[in-house]
Amino acid sequence: MLYTISQRFYFDAAHTLQREIETVGSRRIHGHTYHAEVSVSGPRDPENGMVLDLGFLRLRLEGVREQLDHHFLDEVPNLGIPTLENLCTFIATQLADIRPPVSRVRVWRDAIGDACVLDVP
């Protein structure tokens, strides 16, 4: 059997964005509350009954959160242009060594209804 577990976190951050529409507001420094959910899929370990200890996943996500929370995303190393897509990729990359591996990353902004999902092959 294959199980999927997940853990959520949030962070507040500012950024700018060069766009073809909504250019005035996007080009100015502005901020959002972002939410992220990371999922890990795999078999249940017969000894402990877990795919991955959620405490371990929470600890790793806190490290990712520290890199993003109350930061200017334009300046976060290895993030690139601060899009939802790049945030998904950044989070997945920061957790690339977790076993079983990350299977999905979702980043969204409740206030404006935007979301992005990265399904990791």
**What pLDDT, in 10s, does the model give residues 84-106?**
999 999 999 999 999 999 999 99
Instruction: Say yes or no to pLDDT of 55 above 70.
Output: yes
- The DSSP code for 112 is T
Is residue 31 within a helix (H) or strand (E), and if so which, with residue range?
Answer: strand 30-42
End-to-end, the C-alpha distance of the chain in Å comes to: 18
What residue type is assigned to position 47 of the chain? Answer: E
> pLDDT value at position 58?
97
- Phi/psi of residue 90, each to 5°? -60, -50
> pLDDT value at position 24?
65
Instruction: Say yes or no to pLDDT of 7 above 80.
Output: yes
Would you say domain 3-119 falls under CATH 1.20.1070.10?
no
Q: Using 50, 70 and 90 to split pLDDT, how confident is the model at 73?
A: very high
